[in-house]
Amino acid sequence: MPYIPHTQDDVGVMLERIGAASIDDLFDEIPQALRVGALAGVPDALSEMEVSRLAAERAAADGRPLNFIGAGAYEHHIPAPVWALVTRGEIYSAYTPYQAEASQGTLQIMYEYQSMIAGLTGMDVSNASLYDGASALAEACLMAVRAHRRSTSARILLPETVNPAWRHVARAITEGQGLRLETVACDPATGRIDPHALAAHAGEDVTALVVPQPNFFGQLEDADALTRWARANGALVIAAVNPVSLAVMKPPGEWGDGGADIACGDAQPFGVPLSSGGPYVGFMACRAEHVRQLPGRIAGRTVDVEGRPGFTLTLQAREQHIRRAKATSNICTNQGLLMTAATIHLALLGPAGLERVARACIARTGELVDALTRLPGVQAAFPGPRFHEAVLRLERPAGPVLEALAAGGIAGGFDLARDYPWLGDALLVCATETRTTSDIEAYARALGAVLGRAAAA
């Protein structure tokens, strides 16, 4: 809130009404051992002016680095109208209405969001959003097991080229429910799914294959061939996609012969700023035949008894609406505020605007790779087309290089050493439409200086 309107008299009246002696009494069920008496660095009390100044000083201490990190969360331009509209009181203060039928406006926004996601992915139906891309992938794996009745293995082939954070979250959510997420190795020469590793599963009972497009390294998988392999081996296809890429690439609904069964990802690129890792907003869409297994909620357009158009919830397979044993999910968050931001952003861009953004991202990433690989000791790890990001190999560990760049105000990329040690000294870099030629030149100069100092030492 911009300010807290309650005076001490207001607080006293409220406490008296509920029979509590103090604010602390409202938390008396929390054991003393678990309470924090004070927060280091947080003053007891400040005036509004002092709070504003302190907040500005601490925000400035973070700096405004040039950002070349992607790895699943992207810095895109957000048009001013997006959050000017999202923060209006009628939206901002009621962003998770559990009885959404009471708000035609909320339902209409959900319906428009679903329509845009279905159109982008080429799928038949979309739900009203999920928590983030990682949990969307986990829900897609659970959904695949429910939808594929002929498979009894609950085995999901999860390629190494899927975002490692997403893989960790998917395992944490699904393994306790009996799913087996089995890794499919990456081909170290191409940065894509190793066809030999996948071929080893031919003829087995596999419930679903996850196909990232583009993958975590920015490489484009052969989605058509992977979809055909899954079909030939009786497995469903889960597409894990970057939604911006769908403005210029074949949508999952058109992959291979018949398309993917489920598409999921993170809609964070649409109107949602980077914010210390979240909150973001996941999306999920599927073929019509699987709609009864889709988690969350679906808003639909209909007419009332007098023939007037209106909106209503047509599917609400959540614990709050049906018996727990029948629920497909307990998802209820992010089905409002951030979904609204994504909807407004997409509406403002339109198909042509989104395509311009996607093509700018391709061009900027290509320009970045060209500039950095001209430096001694820097080379692109993988050949072929890419989207949004690229892997660069260095002649020294990426961690200290990134620390040195950060000291100079450049967030230089994502260190791949922990998740992909077989890559050696490598980092993942990204450039969206927000990066300019001068930004890229500044990064190249800084990286050249850091590598030069390291070589001299």
Task: Of 55-64, 358-367, 379-388, give the lowest mean pLDDT range.
Answer: 55-64
- Mean pLDDT, range 238-263, rounded to an integer: 97
Asked if the model's pLDDT at residue 100 lies above 80, the reply is no
- Mean pLDDT, range 313-336, rounded to an integer: 63
What is the per-residue pLDDT for 296?
81
When comparing pLDDT for 264 and 452, which is higher? 264
Query: pLDDT tens-digit profile of 184-229?
Result: 999 999 999 999 999 999 999 999 999 999 999 999 999 999 999 9
Question: Which DSSP string corresponds to 173-240?
Answer: HHGGGT-EEEEE-EETTTTEE-HHHHHTTTTS---EEEEEES-TTSBPP-HHHHHHHHHHTT-EEEEE
When comparing pLDDT for 323 and 191, which is higher? 191
| φ, ψ of residue 348 in degrees (nearest 5) | -70, -40
Pairing of the two strands 410-411 and 389-394: unpaired
Sign of CA dihedral 438, 353, 268, 173: negative
Question: Which DSSP string corresponds to 59-103?
Answer: HHHH--PEE---TT-------HHHHHHHTSHHHHTTSS-SSGGG-
Is 441 strand, coil or helix?
helix
Residues across the chain: 457
What is the per-residue pLDDT for 64?
87
Q: Measured between alpha carbons, how far is 399 from 374 in angstroms, rounded to an integer? A: 21
Measured from the Cβ of residue 152, the count of other Cβ atoms closer than 10 Å reads 10
Task: Of 65-79, 92-106, 273-287, 404-418, give the lowest mean pLDDT range.
Answer: 92-106
Residue 320, both tokens: 């709050």
Calculate the CA dihedral of residues 51, 53, 57, 60 and round it to 10 degrees: 110
What is the per-residue pLDDT for 94?
61
What is the per-residue pLDDT for 318?
55
pTM: 0.89
Q: Which one, of 290, 293, 292, lies nearest residue 142 by Cα?
A: 293
What is the per-residue pLDDT for 334?
56
408 within 8 A of 446, measured Cβ to Cβ:
yes
DSSP-assigned beta bridge partners for residue 313 = 299
Q: What is the mean pLDDT of the chain?
A: 91
Question: What does R_g of the chain's alpha carbons equal in angstroms?
Answer: 24
Which structural domains are found in the chain, ordered by start?
Answer: 80-345 (3.40.640.10), 350-456 (3.90.1150.10)
Pairing of the two strands 66-67 and 410-411: parallel
What is the per-residue pLDDT for 104?
83
Pairing of the two strands 282-286 and 262-266: antiparallel
Q: Measured between alpha carbons, how far is 315 from 306 in angstroms, rounded to an integer? A: 23
User: Which residues lie below 8 Å from residue 154, measured CB to CB, with a gap of 6+?
Assistant: 145, 178, 179, 180, 207
What is the per-residue pLDDT for 394?
97
Which region, left, alpha or beta, applies to residue 203 given φ > 0 means left and ψ of -120 to 50 means alpha?
A: left
Asked if the model's pLDDT at residue 96 lies above 60, the reply is no
Q: Which one, of 355, 357, 365, 353, lies nearest residue 439 by Cα?
A: 365
CA angle 345, 348, 350 (to 5 degrees): 105
Q: Measured between alpha carbons, how far is 77 from 432 in angstroms, rounded to an integer? A: 9
The DSSP output letter for 343 is: H
| Inter-CA distances, 116 with 2, 93, 223, 345, Å | 33, 24, 22, 11
